[in-house]
Structure 1
Amino acid sequence: MKKVLLLAGLAIALVSAAHAKSGGDASATAQARATALTRIQAEKARLDEGQYLKVKQLNIRMFSEMEDLKTRFAADLAILDERLAVAQVRYEMELTSIMRPAQLAMFQKSRNTMTALSTSR
């Protein structure tokens, strides 16, 4: 779970930096962030075109939901953390349902090697 959150955090950080330069609105930001993340996921898991489109829509929904939650619960960080964790679990379940087992294994392996929490030495 920590690895998933770390990966999502890294993706958000990268896209947020790009957003800060562009100064776009929330919808355009979610689109750009989703596109960037989906490209990485498609490369790592070798998604086909149909899967790419489904994952991109999932990523757009995830980023939009995250922004909404951050706005709604900015005053209560405990509730924000809880709601973000629930959204992350739901995202992971939907992502798992889109990918085939071999793709999911490739994606998990590449994600594990990208994080500082990886146990491979």
Structure 2
Amino acid sequence: MKKLLSLAVLAVGLQGVAAASDPETDKLNTRATALTRAMTSKMQLDEGQYLRLKSLNLRMLETMEDLKVRFAADPEIRDMRMAEAQTSYHMELALMLRPSQLTAYKQSQESMTALGLPGTR
């Protein structure tokens, strides 16, 4: 039984090492970290919220990259799925934030949209 458990732990550990050495994963992780830090400074998140937001941002970036690849031949479906993913992201984010933080997030989004910055629509 101990050997089986040891093998399972080793297998999970090796998967983590393989995923960590993937350059695409590193790139997405770096982007998620930068995005999370920027959002944290605007919304004054605590450490637990920071960790949950980083995980949420990483999942969102991975989903968007996956959708770009899977639906490259059909931009209409890709855009529809991306909009669905973004709606889901905003709902999860709203559940994570306190009211004052949610207000700060919305104000930040409105100011970026007003400036016409990319990636805000």
> Which band: TM-score by shorter chain?
0.7 to 0.9
Q: Which residue number in structure 2 is paired with residue 110 of structure 1? A: 108
State how 1:1-121 maps to structure 2 within 5 Å. Answer: 25-116=23-114
Task: Kindly name which structure, 1 or 2, has the bigger radius of gyration based on alpha carbons.
Answer: 2
**TM-score, normalised relative to structure 2:** 0.74
Structure 2 residue ranges without an equivalent (≥5) = 1-21, 117-121
Tell me the TM-score normalised to structure 1 length. 0.74
- Give me the whole-angstrom Cα distance separating, in 2, the residues matched to 1:26 and 1:56: 17
Q: Secondary structure at 2:114's aligned position in 1?
A: coil
Identity of aligned residues (%): 52
- The structural deviation recorded for 1:53 is 0.2
Q: What is the aligned-residue RMSD (CA, Å)? A: 1.5
Determine which structure has greater relative contact order: mean sequence separation of CA pairs < 8 Å that are 6+ residues apart, divided by chain length.
1
Question: How many aligned residue pairs are there?
Answer: 95
How far the C-alpha of 1:40 sits from its partner, in A, is 0.9
